[in-house]
Amino acid sequence: MPLALIVNPSSAGGKTLKRLPQVEAVLDARRVDFRVQRTKGLEHGVEHALRAIDAGELPVVMSGDGLVGAVGGAMAGSDVPLGVIPGGRGNDLARVLGIPDGPEEATEVVLAGHSRRIDVGEVNGKRFLGIVSVGFDSEASRRANEARFLPGDLVYVYAAFATLARWKPAGFTVRVDDERIRLSGYSVSVANSRAYGGGMFIAPDAELDDGRFDVVAVGEGGKLRFLANLPKVFKGTHVDEDEVTVFRASHLELSASKSFPVYADGEHLTELPASLRVLPRALDVLVPAPAET
Query: Do 142 and 173 fall into the same domain?
Result: yes
Among 23-32, 93-102, 142-151, 272-281, the least confident range:
142-151
Query: Do 139 and 253 fall into the same domain?
Result: yes
Residue 287 lies in a domain: no
Using a pLDDT cut of 90, give the percent of the chain over it. 76
Query: Do 98 and 8 fall into the same domain?
Result: yes
Q: What is the pLDDT of residue 291?
A: 74
* Cis-peptide, bond into residue 288, ω within 30° of zero: no
On whether the CB atoms of residues 285 and 193 are closer than 8 A, the answer is: no
For residue 270, pLDDT beyond 90: yes
Query: Do 253 and 135 fall into the same domain?
Result: yes
Query: Do 87 and 167 fall into the same domain?
Result: no
Residue 293 lies in a domain: no
Q: 103 is in which domain, residue-wise? A: 3-113
For residue 152, pLDDT beyond 80: no
Please give the single-letter amino acid code of residue 216.
V
Query: What's the whole-model pTM score?
Result: 0.92
Residue 290 lies in a domain: no
Using DSSP, state whether 290 is helix, strand or coil.
Answer: coil
Q: What is the mean pLDDT of residues 62-80?
A: 96
User: Residue 103 is part of a domain; what is its CATH number?
Assistant: 3.40.50.10330
Query: Do 198 and 227 fall into the same domain?
Result: yes
Q: Name which of 53, 51, 45 is nearest 69 in CA terms.
A: 45
21's CB contacts (< 8 A; 6+ apart) are: none
Query: Do 137 and 265 fall into the same domain?
Result: yes
Distance CA 132, CA 218 (A): 14
User: How would residue 292 be classed by pLDDT, with cut points 50, 70 and 90?
Assistant: low
Distance CA 3, CA 97 (A): 21
Query: Do 272 and 132 fall into the same domain?
Result: yes
pLDDT in tens, 234-265: 999 999 999 999 999 999 999 999 999 999 98
On whether the CB atoms of residues 171 and 256 are closer than 8 A, the answer is: yes
Q: What is the mean pLDDT of residues 128-144?
A: 90
125: number of Cβ within 10 Å: 9
The total number of structural domains in the chain stands at 2
∠ CA 8-12-17 to the nearest 5 degrees? 50
Query: Do 225 and 92 fall into the same domain?
Result: no
Q: What is the pLDDT of residue 10?
A: 86
- From 113, 137, 154, give the residue that closes a domain: 113
Q: Which residue has the higher pLDDT, 30 or 141?
A: 30
For residue 290, pLDDT beyond 90: no
Query: Do 135 and 274 fall into the same domain?
Result: yes
Q: Which residue has the higher pLDDT, 157 or 140?
A: 140
Q: Taking the C-alpha atoms of 203, 208, 214 and 217 in order, what is their torsion angle to the nearest 10 degrees?
A: 40
∠ CA 263-201-197 to the nearest 5 degrees? 40
Residue 121 lies in a domain: no
Q: Label each residue of 137-205 as H, E or C.
A: HHHHHHHHHHCCCCCHHHHHHHHHHHHHHCCCCEEEEEEECCEEEEEEEEEEEEECCCCECCCECCCCC
Please give the single-letter amino acid code of residue 221.
G
For residue 158, pLDDT beyond 90: no
Query: Do 76 and 152 fall into the same domain?
Result: no
Please give the single-letter amino acid code of residue 260.
F
Residue 120 lies in a domain: no
- From 81, 113, 145, give the residue that closes a domain: 113
Alpha-helical (H) ranges within the chain are 15-29, 42-54, 65-74, 92-97, 103-112, 136-146, 152-165, 223-229
- From 69, 85, 113, give the residue that closes a domain: 113
Query: Do 40 and 157 fall into the same domain?
Result: no
Q: What is the pLDDT of residue 149?
A: 59
